[in-house]
Structure 1
Amino acid sequence: MDNKLKVLISGTGFAGQGHADAFRAAGAEVVGIVGRTASVVSEVATKMAIPYFGTDWKQALKECQPDIVSIATPGGAHYEAITQAIEFGCHVFSDKPLTDSGDSAVEVYELAKQKNLKTAFASSFRYMPYIQYAKQLVADGLIGEPTEVECISHFNLERDIPFGWSHRKEDGGGRLNNNFTHMISIVTSVIGEKILSILGEVRDDLGKAPIVEGVHNFKKRRDFIPTDLNDPSLKWGESNVEWSYTVMAQLESPIATKPVSVLFKHGGLNPKYHENHIVFYGTEGAIFIEGHYGMGPLFIWDKNKEWKELALPQDIVDRQPKVNGDTERNWHYLVSEFVKDIKGEQVEPYQTFKEGSLYQQFIDLIRKNNNWTDVRHLQ
């Protein structure tokens, strides 16, 4: 008897195909895939040997009878697909953001909880190997009590990337949805999951982007930048989301007597001068990791008062999924845990719709931009 869990995928782009590969690697059976465009979903299904394909999500749920659905579309399309899947009795794996608002994110979290269904939220860069190593080092007391974390990243994204979901709040766009969700997940995985307070501000440095037809795969959108941006026939779309943000938070740590201060500084359109980085400071040392998502290498500042590079332990290396690409590897890691949990196997805690709904509420608060104190009367 075939006891494989059956998976239905929503989304045909980079994420949808990546999720399908991850579930197959975890031993599940991808029985169907749904997309917006009939020709595209047919092409992807054929290429990936997925037996069922279509454009009607509710019909696909009925015909495929999945145990799990995987949501791999832009965030603005998540709410309806998730609620329908939950009502159908499916466990749900969702990419970030969970939805496009805190209220709707809380709604899908509560609905899944009422139905006693398992959920996974793919703010999955917490599974980067050097982040896992930093978690181990902090837990072992290498830096003493953690006191402060600094996350600095500048992406220098092309301003003329074609207008699409990433430019629109209602579609799940913005740097908070697509960068901050990973960053706060990374920090909480190392320091502690309880977030005590948060404040921040956002800025739209972009304003507008050219409208270009034919963009399907998010990873290839740069290939569609118009060659002549001064073409009078070119149409433009208005951005309504942030491209830069500054967020401060306080976290509770099980090994710290005081709240840990965290700074998240991200400039989506700004060039970097030095390396993007994440630093964990403590009373007795510090851990510095190069790369905006902790790609490595990793250095420690120890009692000898000098920086020293540490290699990844072999056990962390050995448990990494053997796939190319950080995003893909992290999906594989989380999907494997999710599938094992559904099967009743023992797994480490992973992020669910609880965290996804919490992060979306944080994003709503930060976007209000109402943390400023007017000091003009003091001058």
Structure 2
Amino acid sequence: MLKVLISGTGFAGQGHADAFRGAGAEVVGIVGRTPHVVKEVAEKMGIPYAGTDWQQALDDCKPDIVSIATPGGAHYEPIKQAIAAGCHVFCDKPMTDRADTAVELNELAEAKGVKTAYAASFRYAPGVLHAKRLVAEGAIGEPTEIECISHFNLERDIPFGWSHRKEDGGGRLNNNFTHTLSIACTLVGETILNVAGEVRDDLGRAPIVEGVHNFATRRSFIPKDLDDPSLKWGESNVEWSYTVMAQLESPMADKPVSVLFKHGGLVPRFHEDHIVVYGTEGAIYIKGHYGSGALYLNDGQEWREQALPADIEAQVPDVKGETEQCWHYLARLFVKDIAGESVEPYPTFREGSQYQQIIEIIRKNGNWTDVSGL
């Protein structure tokens, strides 16, 4: 049985541990920053080893796989140490906080010969899997366009933390665009030809609050009195909104597929978030920002809701939560691949490093043409 060591004790760390257990691996240890927290999580989850020193944990546990489930700014050193130890690496998005470190880690992994998985994993949402099949079957003719639209209306006063800081792997490109780009690629083709975009930080600042540990419960720490003069504030330095255009090469189309990614982290939606794939003979509409809702097919005349095929439904891991389902799906592929079984291609550090380079290009906001003098 393959042995797994987890880095991170929050929502993602516990989710990764469950996913690898679901894939038939043994979770032998977990590492976190705070001694009492990592001890409590290990006891709760029945993980035999708990520690705060990552290198020591690698030496003590001798894992086959490490799972990196901390914020992106804390990925680089643990992954580098794990690769040096000959471990296969499963890493949540973003891969790191910078393009150069992401590229370096991909090169190190390839040189060492270890396998990697990059968890931009909502490509495994049931609706996305269904849409991918329909596109491949020619249900909409040649794909021509994709649009990925989402508005999260996040509370502006969520406590200041890693999500507000570029150097910690925060920002909506790292934590939303990575998923939707992966979805677009799995739908029509993995080759990204061109990209252009702009970002905006429309948050400014957030209250500093002690005691926030689990990203999933951060809303419960929003201060009741935001006018309290003793309240301290942290300044955001990363985007909360983005608009990106891309062109993807598709083996199913003669021309590049145009893609629009529009996300507003702090603004309310009017209609539902959605993903749409347009083609020369029809279109596919999926409700939900990551394609987890109902799917509709248009044959050129009207929209009809489509039932999820039984074989795809049977592949969906029987766990609560769409995030958790997708982690389970990818972990299952990764474990099977390491064990020598034949599996479909999945995102690796190649995609993770590529996405990080694309994010840096978008963040430059270098796509504007000044027409004020025309």
TM norm. shorter chain > 0.5: yes
Pairing of 1:110-259 with structure 2 (within 5 A): 110-259=107-256
2:251 partner SS: coil
Aligned-partner Cα distance in 1 for 2:250–2:73? 33
3-state SS in 2 of match to 1:362 = helix
Partner of 2:302: 306
> CA–CA distance in 1 between the matches of 2:291 and 2:101?
31
Deviation at 1:194, TM superposition (A): 0.4
TM alignment of 1:269-284, pairs within 5 A: 269-284=266-281
In structure 2, runs of 5+ residues without a counterpart are none
Question: Normalization by structure 1: what TM-score?
Answer: 0.98
Q: 1:52 aligns to what? A: 49
Report the CA distance between 1:377 and its aligned residue.
1.8
Once residues 26 and 256 of structure 1 are traced to their aligned partners in structure 2, the CA distance between those partners, rounded to angstroms, is 36
Distance in 2, Cα, partners of 1:151 & 1:32: 38
Quick one: which of 79, 91, 96 aligns to 1:94?
Answer: 91
Measured in 1, the distance between the counterparts of 2:98 and 2:205 equals 22
Q: Does 1:335 align with 2:331?
A: yes
Match of 1:367 in 2: 363
2:246 & 2:75 partners in 1: Cα distance?
27
Specify the code of the residue in structure 1 equivalent to 2:239.
E
Give the deviation of 1:152 after TM superposition: 0.7
CA displacement 1:191-238 (0-9 Å, x = unmatched): 100000001000001000000000001000000000000000000000
TM-score computed with the length of structure 2 as normaliser: 1.00
Per the TM alignment, residue 25 of structure 1 is displaced from its structure 2 partner at its CA by 1.0
Unaligned 5+ segments in structure 1 are: none
**Alignment root-mean-square deviation, CA:** 0.5
Aligned residues: 374
Q: Give a deviation string over 1:79-107, Cα, whole Å, max 9, x none.
A: 00000000011000000000001110000
| Aligned counterparts of 2:368 and 2:230: Cα–Cα separation in 1 | 41
In structure 2, the partner of 1:31 is 28
Q: Which AA in structure 1 matches 2:66?
A: V
Give the partner amino acid of 2:360: D
In the TM superposition, what whole-angstrom CA distance separates every residue of 1:316-369 from its partner, at most 9, and x where no partner exists?
101111100000000000000000000000000000000000000000000000
Q: What amino acid maps onto 1:49 in structure 2?
A: G
Tell me the distance in 2 between the aligned counterparts of 1:278 and 1:31: 39
Amino acid at match of 1:307: W
The 2-side partners of 1:300 and 1:194 are apart by 25
Alpha-carbon distance, 1:133 to partner: 0.5
Identity percentage of aligned residues = 74
Once residues 130 and 295 of structure 1 are traced to their aligned partners in structure 2, the CA distance between those partners, rounded to angstroms, is: 5
SS at match of 1:376: coil
Q: 1:64 aligns with which of 36, 48, 61?
A: 61
Distance (whole Å) between structure 2 residues aligned to residue 120 and residue 209 of structure 1: 33
Matched residue type, 2:83 = I
- What is the deviation of 1:296? 1.6
Structure 1 residue ranges (4+ consecutive) displaced by more than 4 angstroms after TM superposition: none
3-state secondary structure, aligned to 2:90? strand
Of 261, 283, 286, the match for 1:286:
283
Give the Cα–Cα distance (whole angstroms) in 2 for the partners of residues 293 and 319 of structure 1. Answer: 18
Secondary structure at the aligned position of 2:351 is classed as: helix
